[in-house]
Amino acid sequence: MIDTHCHLNLTDHFPDPSAAVDRALHADVDRIIVVGIDDETSQLAVDLADRFDAVFACVGWHPTSAAKYENTQRIEALCKHPKVVAIGEIGLDYHWDYSTPEQQLVATNAHWALACELQMPVVFHCREAYDDLIDWLESRDAYPPTCVLHCFAGDVSHARRALAIEETEVFFGIDGPITFKNATALRDIAAELPLDRLLLETDSPYLTPHPHRGKPNEPAMIPLICDGLAAALSISAAEAAAATTANAFRAFPRLR
Ligand SMILES: [Zn+2]
């Protein structure tokens, strides 16, 4: 299995990422994509990719970091690294007010232009902003080959609109909330999404799956999310693992 989205680069939460990588490998999670939220954490993601065979990096400015964003020069330089598999996480977050929607769009537009130029996958963060993000996505002039709606929390109509964009292949991240007892609506939405577009992610250290809620999340918890997805789709865990792993290689062609 592959954890396609986590933050082992947040040093306050993972003072010893090697222990988390080891536990992941023992849990059959043999590839881990570490995602940046600004220049510094993007560099740390690449450093971890250099240090661990199992680790790959995604580089970019998170919308909640966008007030400090200046340009994509350092992100562009990091994209030359062979283990950088995507640009992100970028997007819109209307829940927190660390940055304005205008600042978020400045950062997101610049990263998108870079991704189109380099033809690299894009990983989106979206919180309480799906209408605007899908409107924005539909109205681009150019597209990268693949996009990921990380920790998808939109509704079925948002998913259908994203899937209808012919110029890019859109994938949906499935995280710990799929395992929550009260997440019936989320499981119903997951069951409406095409199986060949689903990815497993932890978003560690956040979004810890049941029955470990209250503890920090880590990539080794991917099998619990895989089980939760399998239950939502009424398929076996082995089928869910095989499908999501194959999808990850399509979503991120540099992953190997
Ligand atoms: Zn994230």
Q: Compute, in angstroms, the gap from residue 142 CA to the centroid of ligand 1.
A: 25
d(CA 35, ligand 1 centre) in Å:
6
Mean pLDDT to the nearest integer, 98-125: 98
Distance 234 CA to ligand 1 centre (A): 27
Number of domains in the chain: 1
- Which residues pair with residue 32 across a beta bridge? 3, 55
Distance 89 CA to ligand 1 centre (A): 7
User: Quick one: pLDDT at residue 98?
Assistant: 96
Q: How far is CA 125 from CA 27, 37, 63, 89, in A?
A: 26, 10, 8, 6
Q: Are 14 and 8 in contact (CB under 8 A)?
A: yes
The closest of 149, 189, 153, 192 to 168, measured between CA atoms, is 149
In a domain, 47, yes or no: yes
In a domain, 164, yes or no: yes
The band of 130, judged by pLDDT with boundaries at 50, 70 and 90, is very high
pLDDT (tens digit per residue) in 218-227:
999 999 999 9
Tell me how far the alpha carbon of residue 123 lies from the centroid of ligand 1, in angstroms.
9
Question: Residue 58 in contact with residue 85, Cβ under 8 Å?
Answer: yes
Section 158-186 average pLDDT: 98
77 assigned to some structural domain: yes
Specify if 71 maps to a domain: yes
Question: Do 122 and 148 meet the contact criterion of CB atoms below 8 Å apart?
Answer: yes
Q: Is residue 256 assigned to a domain?
A: no
In a domain, 140, yes or no: yes
- According to DSSP, residue 61 is labeled -
Q: What pLDDT score does 206 carry?
A: 97
**pLDDT, mean of residues 195-211:** 98
Per the prediction, the chain carries an average pLDDT of 98
Q: What is the Å distance from ligand 1's center to 88 Cα?
A: 9
pLDDT band (50, 70, 90) for residue 162: very high
Q: Which domain holds residue 184?
A: 2-251
Predicted pLDDT at 88: 97
CATH number at residue 203: 3.20.20.140
Sheet holding 2-6, edge to edge: 2-6, 31-35, 55-59, 84-93, 122-127, 146-149, 169-174, 198-200
C-alpha 166 to ligand 1 mean position (Å): 26
Identify whether 162 is part of a domain: yes
Determine the Cα–Cα distance for residues 74 and 116; give it in Å rounded to an integer.
17
Residues 109 and 140 sit within 8 Å (Cβ to Cβ): no
pLDDT at res. 195: 98
Taking a C-beta distance cutoff of 8 angstroms, is the pair 59, 36 a contact? yes
Average pLDDT over residues 160-173: 98
Find the 39 Cα to ligand 1 centroid distance in Å.
14
Amino acid, res. 150? H
How far does residue 237's CA lie from ligand 1's centre (Å)? Answer: 24
pLDDT single digits (tens) 242-255 = 999 999 999 999 99
- φ/ψ of residue 162, rounded to 5: -65, -40
Interval 156-161 mean pLDDT: 98
